[in-house]
Amino acid sequence: MNDLLPNSIQNGIHSLPLRVYYEDTDFSGVVYHANYLRFAERGRSEFLHSCGIHHSDLFSRPDPLAFTVVTMNIDFLAPAKIDNKLKVISAYIFIKGARLHIKQAIMLDRQILWRADVHVACITAAGRPVRMPQDILCLLEPHLTQEEHFLNFINKP
């Protein structure tokens, strides 16, 4: 399967390039705050795609699964503007039971505009948390990284 987006995971860090379009902004040309959540979701989804995990495949399993955000702590540090070329940086830090801990940042060049600490749960089709299946663990675990590595990556000059 060919991926349409130029993205990759290197040393546990996933980078998704995106451009800010008119539709992403408010009347002043600044990205509307809720759109950072959309950008972050794309980053998490593309991380999974890069690992060989696809949402449609998860839900079509005999034991249908999905991921849902349980908690998200967000810092808005600086605005993104129309036509900016951004990178959504994602790092999957650890898996414990049904939970995934993910660190994310949205960057303009080397400037951090937005960052989030995200906890996601693996759930059944009925919405109940379920321990991450072994086949999914095998695809994700090689790409886990340390929080320090993520912080060094986004803070390097």
What are the pLDDT tens digits along the chain (157 aa)? 345 555 679 999 999 999 999 999 999 999 999 999 999 999 999 999 999 999 999 999 999 999 999 999 999 999 999 999 999 999 999 999 999 999 999 999 999 999 999 999 999 999 999 999 999 999 999 999 999 999 999 998 7
β-sheet with 85-96: strand ranges across: 8-10, 13-19, 85-96, 99-108, 111-124, 65-76
Topology of 8-155 in CATH? Thiol Ester Dehydrase; Chain A (3.10.129)
The pLDDT value given to residue 157: 74
Q: Taking the model in full, what pTM does it have?
A: 0.92
H-assigned helices in 32-155:
33-50, 55-59, 134-140, 147-155
Catalytic residues: 26
- What is the H or E stretch that residue 121 is in? strand 111-124
Q: How far apart are the C-alpha atoms of 22 and 64, rounded to whole Å? A: 37
Q: How far apart are the C-alpha atoms of 52 and 44, rounded to whole Å? A: 13
